[in-house]
Every structure is written in structure tokens, then in C-alpha cells.
DNA sequence: GTCTATAGCCAGATAGAC
DNA sequence: GTCTATCTGGCTATAGAC
């Protein structure tokens, strides 16, 4: 936790502030305060707010992509993938609650910038998953379904609660404790719901 | 479309800009340009950026709440509610694609401000819906389910695609045309999925 | 009610001492 | 590498003419 280089300290503080406030809402001074260093150091190490933001975005994208790739590229069955993704994704996001929303907002705000990442090697590629679905339909394990709709259902059910936490808790009258216990329940409920809907 | 009062023009422009950029990212100059009037007029009519934002937020909340209340307070059966909400909500959001995300972001950023709305009369109240679920379980129409999890599933499945459009289209490789046609399909798929999972 | 001009502030960025 | 002091630009807001 200590003995980190200043550069690592800055990045860590920047992650915290940018993920909560977004590019437009974040302040360099706040990042400096969080890192307990002088504001000038941010520019010494990262040149500009934009460059620092890009480092944070890259880090967030790289942390997030493996969860998707686990679904797209592992050798597990579709049922196993759904179960394991749900569990590991919800656990992951409970530890990093601002990450999905940060990615979503900044991708929406800078589509051209985001395309840089979707074009790269670390970007998730649904090709193998589509093939797997086709095979399992062929084998009579799955009903004939659209793989993209299945993925969209899976992502929606797991991610939305964390992106819209405030609205969800407001409408459903949830405090933090109830919210968390519902998320734990969802680790079971979501795979059940999805698997039942696609198994032949 | 024309002959609107300046005040209406301003609000309309402010809605457009605030919903796309959020409070932190919006610029008074951009709102003035969009309304094709002088920047000083914004302050003449709405005093400050904050006040103008609040007018936009209120408008958005009031436009959104009836969709939720339709589920919470109408006399339809649970199955009908699911079907009708999905259809009307997706149609509504295709016409107002920035609205759900705007509400979500600003509620996340100003929880205390949002509580003002969740405490008010126009705020959706899940009380009747919970009672209805209990009754339909009692009658043997529904499996024993948690009404809050059902609502969360319904909101997640319908709203997430519009909140995370950029991320979703990036991961699933969708252009605008494909995205829209998937949303049309979802008007059927979502009620099917949810109703099958809860009917006894 | 509508405009021009500008005040005043705040945030990002840099110069320069140490 | 780290700090203090300061520049610069941009944005909200207002004063005041018409």
C-alpha cells in the first residue's frame, strides 16, 4: 500500500476521481489532493488532463475486457459461461462499483476515441461465441436463439443495477444493505432465468 | 414548432444540451446557440445554470415517472403490465434516447437533490404492485417471486441497452440500423422471457 | 425583452526556485 | 523530482445601452 512511486500514486488517485466524476466533472486539484501531492506533479508525469484521463480509461478498459473475453473465448459450455460470468462479474463490480458506469459514459461521450479500443487486440470479439451457440443449437442443447440477444440480456441483467444504482434504489426504496443483498441473490437468479429461457 | 415563447425555446434547447452532456459537461453558450438567442437571455429567464438545470431535470423526471407508475398503479394483470411496459418504454426511449441516461447520471451525482423527487407525490411508489404480486401468487397465477427482483429484471432488460449504447454496440459490433432492429425484437423477447420465468 | 461588453472566478498549464 | 507562484483561457454571470 505504501512505497509506491509517485506516478503510481497519481494514477491511482486519478482512477478514483475520474471514475466517480467523469472527464468533465473531475478536477486536477482533487486528484492532487487525493494523491497527497502537488498539482504541478500531475503535469510533470502526465503532461495534461486529457493524457491522464486516457491512462485511466485504458486501465479501466483492460480491467473490464477479460470478463467479457471469458465468455467469448473460454472452452466452457454456454450454461457454465452464463453462471460463471454472472458470479464473477457481480463480485468484481461490487469491488469496483464506478467502473462500468465510467466506461459507459466516456464511450458514449467520445465514440471516436472508444473505437480506438474496440479496434484493438484486447477488444472482445464475439466470433467464437456465435459459433459455439450455433453448435449447441445443432446439438439440441439450446433452443434456436440469437446469440446477440442472449449476450444483451446477460449484460443488461448483471450491469444495469450498478449503472443505475441511484435510480434503482430510489424507485425500489432500497438502502445500501438491501441493495447488496439483492445483488448477492442475483448471482443465482440471473443464471436460472437465462438458462431456463434457452435450454431445449 | 415556431411561435414559441423565448422561455420555451430556451428550455427546449437546454433539455437537448443537458441530456447529452450532463450538468458538468454542458455549456451555457451551447444552449444559447441551440436556441438561437443571446447567452444573456438564459440568465434573464432562468437566473443561473443550476436553476436551468433543475428545470430540465424536473421535466425529465415528470416525463419518465408515468411509465413506472403505469406498472405500479394500473389495474392490469402482471403479465399485461410487463408486456405493455416493455413496448411503450422501448418506443418512448427510441424517441428520447438520452433521457434514461441523463436521469441516472444526475441522480448518481446528486443523491440529496434526487431525494427531493423520490420524496414527492409524482414519485413512483411500489406499494400496490407488491400487493398485486402477492395476490397473484396466492391465486396460483405466479410462482413465489420477489417483486423487487422482477422489477429490477424488467428495468434492466429494457433500459440497459439505451444507457450503455456505445459499449453494447462496440462489444456486439452493431451499427445504428442493427441496434434499432434488435430493440424492436426485444419488445417481444423481453415479455416472453420474463413471463415464462414467473408463470406457474 | 434583447443585445454588447465586461467583470470575476476557476481550472488547466507552465516557469522557475530549490 | 517537488514545490510556489503565476499565466492564460474559458465559462458563468451581470451591468447597462437600446
Nearest to B126 among A157, A173, A185 (CB): A173
| Residue to test with chain A: of B49, B85, B105, most A Cβ within 10 A | B105
Residue B89 clears pLDDT 80, i.e. is over it: yes
Query: With an 8 Å Cβ cutoff, are A149 and B186 in contact?
Result: yes
| Residue to test with chain A: of B171, B172, B187, B192, most A Cβ within 10 A | B171
CA distance A190 to A90: 11
Residue B67 clears pLDDT 90, i.e. is over it: yes
Query: With an 8 Å Cβ cutoff, are B166 and A108 in contact?
Result: yes
- The alpha-carbon gap from A137 to the nearest alpha carbon of chain B, in Å, equals 18
Domain that holds residue B156: 60-198
Cell of A11: 494514477
User: Residue A24's closest chain B neighbor by CA?
Assistant: B25
The mean pLDDT of A118-128, rounded to a whole number, is 93
| Residue to test with chain B: of A152, A173, A180, most B Cβ within 10 A | A152
pLDDT at B1 (0 to 100): 43
Count of CB atoms situated within 10 Å of the CB of A88 = 15
- Between the alpha carbon of residue B98 and those of residues A64, B10, B21, B103, the distances in Å are 24, 18, 9, 9
CA distance B49 to B36: 17
Q: What is the CATH number of the domain that holds A67?
A: 1.10.357.10
Residue B67 domain-assigned (yes or no): yes
In a shared domain, residues B10 and B99: no
Query: With an 8 Å Cβ cutoff, are B166 and A197 in contact?
Result: no
Residue A71 domain-assigned (yes or no): yes
Query: With an 8 Å Cβ cutoff, are A108 and B123 in contact?
Result: no
Which residues does chain A have within 8 Å of residue B186's beta carbon, measured at their own beta carbons? 149, 152
Q: What are the percentages of helix, strand and coil residues in chain A, rounded to 5?
A: 80, 0, 20
Helix, strand, or coil (residue A176): helix
Cell of B62: 415528470
Residue B73 domain-assigned (yes or no): yes
Residue B50 clears pLDDT 80, i.e. is over it: yes
Residue A3 clears pLDDT 80, i.e. is over it: no
Count of CB atoms situated within 10 Å of the CB of B2 = 4
- The alpha-carbon gap from A40 to the nearest alpha carbon of chain B, in Å, equals 24
Residue A181 domain-assigned (yes or no): yes
Residue A55 domain-assigned (yes or no): no
- The alpha-carbon gap from B5 to the nearest alpha carbon of chain A, in Å, equals 31
Query: With an 8 Å Cβ cutoff, are B68 and A118 in contact?
Result: no
Interatomic CA–C1' length for residue A53 and nucleotide D2, angstroms:
22
pTM of this prediction? 0.97
Interatomic CA–C1' length for residue B40 and nucleotide C6, angstroms:
12
Residue B106 domain-assigned (yes or no): yes
Query: With an 8 Å Cβ cutoff, are B166 and A107 in contact?
Result: yes
In a shared domain, residues A64 and A28: no
Residue A194 clears pLDDT 60, i.e. is over it: yes
Cell of B25: 459537461
CA distance B182 to B200: 29
In a shared domain, residues A38 and A83: no
In a shared domain, residues A74 and A40: no
CA distance A86 to B34: 43
Interatomic CA–C1' length for residue A28 and nucleotide C11, angstroms:
8
Residue B16 clears pLDDT 50, i.e. is over it: yes
In a shared domain, residues B78 and B136: yes
In a shared domain, residues B43 and B108: no
How many separate domains does chain B show? 2
Residue A53 domain-assigned (yes or no): no
Residue B122 clears pLDDT 50, i.e. is over it: yes
Residue A106 clears pLDDT 80, i.e. is over it: yes
Alpha-carbon dihedral angle through residues B198, A78, B158, B91, given to the nearest 10 degrees: -110
For the segment A161-180, what is each residue's pLDDT rounded down to a tens digit?
A: 999 999 999 999 999 999 99
In a shared domain, residues A83 and A116: yes
pLDDT band, residue B3 (cuts 50/70/90) = low
For the segment A15-43, what is each residue's pLDDT rounded down to a tens digit?
A: 999 999 999 999 999 999 999 999 999 99
CA distance A42 to A61: 22
Nearest to A182 among B126, B148, B196 (CB): B148
In a shared domain, residues A139 and A81: yes
Q: What is the CATH number of the domain that holds B7?
A: 1.10.10.60
Q: DSSP strand E in chain A: where?
A: none
Q: Which nucleotide is nearest to B43 (CA to C1')?
A: D13
In a shared domain, residues B82 and B132: yes
Query: How confident is the prediction for chain B on average, in pLDDT?
Result: 96
CA distance B16 to A183: 34
In a shared domain, residues A106 and A194: yes
In a shared domain, residues A28 and A64: no
CA distance B9 to B149: 41
- Between the alpha carbon of residue B17 and those of residues A20, B34, B65, B98, the distances in Å are 21, 8, 21, 10
pLDDT band, residue A4 (cuts 50/70/90) = confident
Residue B80 clears pLDDT 60, i.e. is over it: yes
pLDDT band, residue B134 (cuts 50/70/90) = very high
In a shared domain, residues A115 and A39: no
The Cα angle at residue B176 between residues B174 and B181, in degrees rounded to 5: 85
Residue B177 domain-assigned (yes or no): yes
A2-11, A108-117, B9-18, B133-142, range with the lowest pLDDT: A2-11
Strand C CB shell (< 7 Å): A 26-29, 39-40, 43, 47-50; B 6, 37-41, 44
Residue A109 clears pLDDT 70, i.e. is over it: yes
Any strand D atom closer than 7 Å to B49 CB: yes
CA distance A121 to A117: 8
Residue with cell 446528486: B110
Interatomic CA–C1' length for residue B48 and nucleotide D14, angstroms:
11
Query: With an 8 Å Cβ cutoff, are B160 and A163 in contact?
Result: yes
Amino acid at each position: 500500500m505504501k512505497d509506491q512511486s509517485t506516478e503510481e500514486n497519481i494514477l491511482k488517485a486519478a482512477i478514483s476521481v475520474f471514475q466517480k466524476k467523469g472527464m468533465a466533472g473531475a478536477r486536477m486539484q482533487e486528484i492532487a489532493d487525493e494523491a497527497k501531492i502537488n498539482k504541478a506533479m500531475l503535469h510533470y508525469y502526465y503532461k495534461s488532463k486529457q493524457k491522464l484521463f486516457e491512462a485511466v480509461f485504458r486501465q479501466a478498459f483492460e480491467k473490464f475486457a477479460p470478463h467479457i473475453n471469458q465468455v467469448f473465448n473460454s472452452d466452457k459450455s454456454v450454461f457454465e459461461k452464463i453462471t460463471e460470468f454472472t458470479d464473477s462479474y457481480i463480485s468484481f463490480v461490487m469491488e469496483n462499483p464506478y467502473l462500468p458506469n465510467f466506461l459507459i459514459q466516456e464511450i458514449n461521450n467520445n465514440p471516436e476515441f472508444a473505437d480506438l479500443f474496440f479496434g484493438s487486440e484486447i477488444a472482445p470479439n464475439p466470433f467464437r461465441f456465435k459459433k459455439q451457440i450455433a453448435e449447441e443449437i445443432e446439438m439440441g442443447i439450446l433452443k434456436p436463439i440469437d446469440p446477440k440477444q442472449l449476450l444483451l440480456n446477460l449484460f443488461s441483467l448483471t450491469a444495469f443495477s450498478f449503472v443505475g444504482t441511484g435510480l434503482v434504489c430510489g424507485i425500489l426504496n432500497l438502502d445500501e444493505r438491501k441493495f447488496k443483498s439483492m445483488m448477492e441473490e442475483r448471482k443465482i437468479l440471473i443464471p436460472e432465468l437465462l438458462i431456463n429461457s434457452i435450454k431445449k
